[in-house]
Structure 1
Amino acid sequence: MRVHLGSDHAGLDLKDHLVAWLRDHGYEPVDHGPFVHDALDDYPVFCLRAAEGVAADRERGLNSLGVVVGGSGNGEQMAANKVLGIRCALVWSEETARLAREHNDAQVVSVGGRMHTLEEMTRFVEVFLAEPFSGDERHVRRIGQLGSYEQTRELPPLPESAQGLGPTDAAH
């Protein structure tokens, strides 16, 4: 499996570690940078490219995944989620890594390089890469709603149980 990676300066060491770890475990890492430490670099430059790589591979029918890394992982997740069709999950435990794939079919995972030990973060990525999407109808439906909104910008309809309970529009 091909795994696209991107980070910022705060995630550079973990990204470099993951490139070697992935290669050693039979994955094909694609490193989108950065390649040198620059405390003033901008994570979108690298994380958008990693997510675009995943999206392009998947469009061609390849089962690629991605990993983005930063100090907290927050901005990197936000950047990856801007790529059309990509669902990126910020993970902070083995459970969140597993659920990102099992329930949300996330194609990219974001980890905070300053939040955990090297061993913990490697394990989160390992769990993420190994976990399949469950394919349960409720998860497929929810992901479909996200994809539809992403394409049309039309909100999904409210369920009957929520009719009349939401915010009101004073203009009506």
Structure 2
Amino acid sequence: MRVHIATDHAGLDLSRYLVEELVAAGYDLVDHGPAEYDALDDYPAFCISAARAVREDREAGLDSLGIVLGGSGNGEQIAANKVRGIRAALAWNLDTARLARQHNDAQVAAVGGRQHPREEALEIVKAFLAEPFSGEERHARRIGQVAEYEATGTVAGRLEELRPREFPAAREA
């Protein structure tokens, strides 16, 4: 399996550790940067590059996933999710990593480099990489609805039938 990885300065040490450990475990790694520490770097370009490469690999029929790292993983997840067709999930423990693959067929995991000891982060990443998509109809249907909205701006027959309920604040007499 090919793994695309990207980070910013906050995840750089973790990224280097993960690359070393994952290569030793038999994964093919592609590092989208940065190459060196710069406290003023910006994560979006690195993470978008990794997510685009995952999408391109998968479109070409290659087994490929991505890992994006930062201080919290939140911004990196948001950036990766801006790549059309990519589902990136914040993986903050073993269950969220596995469920991202099982239920959401996420192709990219975001991990907060400042949130975990490096050994724990490695286990989260390995859980994500090892877990297959369940293929269950309900999960595939939901993923299809998200993709439909991404492509068309609507979910046929779904958004129109939802009516939000309002609860006005209590007013003092």
Q: TM-score range by the shorter chain?
A: over 0.9
Say whether residues 1:62 and 2:62 are aligned partners.
yes
* Unaligned 5+ runs, structure 1: none
Residues 1:91 and 2:91 are matched in the alignment: yes
By how many angstroms is 1:158 displaced? 2.9
Look up the match of 1:166.
Answer: 164
Q: How many residues align?
A: 166
- Deviation string 1:17-76 (CA, Å, 9 cap, x unpaired) is 111111100100000000100000000121010001101101101110000000000000
CA distance in 2, matches of 1:147, 1:158: 14
Aligned amino acid, residue 116 of structure 2: H
Cα offset, 1:9, TM superposition: 0.2
Match of 1:19 in 2: 19
Q: Which amino acid aligns with 2:94?
A: E
Deviations, residues 96-136 of structure 1 (Å, cap 9, x unaligned): 00000000000000000001111111000000000000000
Question: What code does the residue aligned with 1:145 have?
Answer: Q
Q: Name the CA shift for 1:32/1:163 in 2 (closer, same or farther; >3 Å).
A: closer
Q: 1:164 to 1:7 in 2, by over 3 A?
A: closer
TM (norm. structure 2) is: 0.92
RMSD of Structure 2 on Structure 1 (CA): 1.6
When residues 65 and 88 of structure 1 are mapped into structure 2, their CA distance, relative to the original with a 3 A threshold, is same
Give ranges in structure 2 of 5+ residues lacking alignment. 167-173
Report the TM-score, using the length of structure 1 for normalisation. Answer: 0.92
Runs of 4+ in 1 over 2 A off after TM superposition: 155-159, 162-168
1:125-144 equivalent positions in 2, closer than 5 A: 125-144=125-144
The aligned counterpart of 2:42 is 42
Report the Cα distance in structure 1 between the residues aligned to 2:77 and 2:158, rounded to whole angstroms: 28
Residue equivalent to 1:51: 51
Aligned to 1:78: 78
Letter of the 1:103 partner, please give it: H
Distance in 1 of aligned mates of 2:156 and 2:44: 29
Amino acid in the other structure paired with 2:144 = G
Identity over aligned residues, as a percent? 60
